[in-house]
Amino acid sequence: MAKTPFCNGLIWMIDMSIGLGTGKILTVLALNAHHHRLSPSSPGLHDVHCMAVSVADSWTGESIAAFIERLIASTGRPAAYLKDGGTDLQKSIRLLDEQGLASPCIDDISHVIANLLKWRYQDQPIFATFLSACGRVSGKLKQTVLACLAPPKVQTKARFVNVHRLIRWADRLLGLSPVGGARKGSILSKLRACLDQLPSCRAFIKRFRNDAVPLLECQRILKAQGLSHSTIAQCEPFIQAIGSAPVRRELTFYLQVQLETATKLGLDHIGLPVSSDQIESLFGLGKLHGTGQIKDANRIALRLPALCGTPTREEAEQVIKISVAEEQEITGCFTSLVKQRREVLPHPDRLESLRTEQGGTHLELIAGAKNRENSGEILHLPVSYEKPHGLRPQCQTGHS
């Protein structure tokens, strides 16, 4: 495979998500590398195709690399990979490079900016004070006449992707409490009683805002138009407005590295896609539709390809013709939390069976597979891509 020139003009987005139980979902989406020439807006789920989905009890750099290698053998090597900064994903790309199967690597802009803010502020004691104050203020505002002023919910695991929302909320909330006295019993006096330690965080909020606002404006431009000479020039005034010099330097370095990748792919005047928002949206939709209350990883993974792209009439007719019996025949061999629940709850004596059943077969879908290992149930997904008129996809040969 290392000697074969693969040429498909696609950028592969790679990410992982979890459901209930031990299953962890690895997904690969494909986006036309020339998307920003073909469309004036940022990519959506209708612009991507699901190349592969696989569920496993756990994923390591080695197992991810092995899975991508099988996908490459089936469909060809992508023009580039687009991913976040996860260590397992980074290791898998490095292992593929050692095998001569590398493609250029693009770092997702949202995670880069989140990591810049995390690197700058996470270890500052005032940041912990700010988060604690936000939590206490939230508790004091809820179930009161001031409930409309409660802070937005920010997930702990991906806090720095959305922490700017807390900063913006806190800045506006403090703006409702001007300097001066408040009449006893007034709404303002009630608000001030709920502010906890937020007023002592004003200087921190201002510093964070002065870094985050320009960063997010750059992110907005690059997501919508891709990374190119033109969009970097549009970002320059916002880069100069970043309050922290170290953050400004790190962002400039990131843009230079990604521009080199764009130049390799012939996209430096078109726009290199730098956002993997589509795969995050896919995971969110997959957990919401058709999975019921129990978010089983295999049930989620089985539905992900249907949420990508625009289905043709022929594909819709194929789905309509599938009977319930056929669906059960396909999915019956996969580990199912629903089936385990039905088996164990009415029969306490079967509790120990969970230990053996948990290591059952997981779902794996892969596009255009021909010769595959006999490791579990594999469904083949034939995916075709129309060539855009007047465009020739970039070809990647040898080492990147």
Phi-psi region of 185 (alpha: psi -120 to 50; beta: other; left: phi over 0): left
Quick one: pLDDT band at residue 332, thresholds 50, 70, 90?
Answer: low
Same domain, 178 and 228: no
User: How confident is the model over 305-331, as pLDDT tens digits?
Assistant: 888 888 888 888 888 888 888 877 776
387 assigned to some structural domain: no
94 plus 172 within the same structural domain = no
- For 160, the 3-state DSSP assignment is helix
Q: Of 146-160, 267-281, 332-346, which has the strongest mean pLDDT?
A: 267-281
CATH number of the domain within which 49 lies: 3.30.420.10
Q: Say yes or no: 104 and 126 in one domain.
A: no
CA 41, CA 52: separation in Å to the nearest integer? 25
For residue 182, give its domain range.
116-209
Does the pLDDT at position 149 exceed 50? yes
Give the least confident one: 2-11, 108-117, 162-171, 174-183. Answer: 2-11
269's torsion region: left (phi>0), alpha (psi -120 to 50) or beta? alpha
Flag whether 86 is in a domain. Answer: yes
Residue 144 lies in a domain: yes
Q: Which tens digits make up the pLDDT trace of 357-369? A: 544 577 788 887 4
Structure confidence at residue 174 (pLDDT)? 92
What pLDDT, on the 0 to 100 scale, is given for residue 292? 63
Q: Between the CA atoms of 295, 298, 302 and 305, what dihedral angle is there, to the nearest 10 degrees?
A: 80
Residue 202: inside a domain, yes or no? yes
- Distance between CA atoms of residues 213 and 373, nearest Å: 49
Please indicate, yes or no, whether residues 22 and 86 belong to a single structural domain of this protein.
yes
pLDDT at 13: 94
Both tokens assigned to 258: 């990604």
CA distances for 190 relative to 131, 138, 201, 329, angstroms: 21, 14, 19, 61
Please give the backbone phi and psi of residue 366, each rounded to the nearest 5 degrees, phi first.
-145, 140
Distance CA 381, CA 368 (A): 6
pLDDT at residue 379 above 60?
Answer: no
Same domain, 287 and 204: no
Q: How many CB atoms lie within 10 A of CB 376?
A: 16
pLDDT at 215: 95
- Nearest Cα neighbor of 130 from 214, 211, 213, 207 is 207
Q: Which of 131, 137, 209 is CA-nearest to residue 176?
A: 137
Determine the pLDDT at residue 257.
95
Residues 141 and 186 in one domain: yes
pLDDT of res. 28: 95
What average pLDDT score do residues 26-30 get? 94
Q: Is 394 within a domain? A: no
Q: Which residues of 241-252 are buried (b: 16+ CB within 10 A; e: fewer)?
A: ebbbeebbebbe
Percent of the chain with pLDDT over 90: 47
Alpha-carbon distances of 344 from 238, 292, 356, rounded to whole Å: 58, 19, 13
Sign of CA dihedral 183, 186, 192, 194: positive
Answer yes or no: do 296 and 343 share one domain.
Answer: yes
CA atoms within 13 A on the CB side of 187: 7
DSSP 144: S
Q: Which two tokens stand for residue 278?
A: 């589509």
When pLDDT is averaged across residues 51-57 and rounded to a whole number, the result is 89
Regarding whether 171 and 255 lie in a shared domain, the answer is: no
The angle at the Cα of 102, spanning 98 to 105, to the nearest 5 degrees, equals 120
**Residues 276/108, Cβ–Cβ less than 8 Å:** yes
Distances (CA, A) of 110 to 32, 131, 219: 20, 21, 7
Query: Which residue in 190, 203, 150, 153 sits closest to 173, CA to CA?
Result: 150
pLDDT averaged over every residue in the chain: 82
Q: Is the pLDDT of residue 161 over 90?
A: no
pLDDT tens digits along 208-231: 999 999 999 999 999 999 999 999
Question: How many independent structural domains does the chain possess?
Answer: 3
Please indicate, yes or no, if residue 388 is contained in any of the structural domains. Answer: no
- Hey, what's the torsion of the CAs at 261, 265, 266, 271, to 10 degrees? -60
Alpha carbons 131 and 133: distance in angstroms, whole number: 5
Residue 269 domain flag: no
Q: 49 and 120 share a domain?
A: no
How many H-runs (helices) and E-runs (strands) does the chain carry? 16, 7
Model pTM score: 0.80
Strand-strand pairing, 364-367 and 378-381:
parallel
pLDDT at residue 3 tops 70: no
Looking at the domain assignment, is residue 313 inside a domain?
yes
- 261-265: list long-range contacts, CB under 8 Å, 24+ apart: 261/80, 261/104, 261/105, 261/106, 262/227, 262/228, 264/104, 264/400, 265/33, 265/79, 265/80, 265/104, 265/394
Q: What percent of the chain has pLDDT over 70?
A: 82
Q: What is the DSSP string of 226-243?
A: -BSHHHHHHHHHHHHH-S
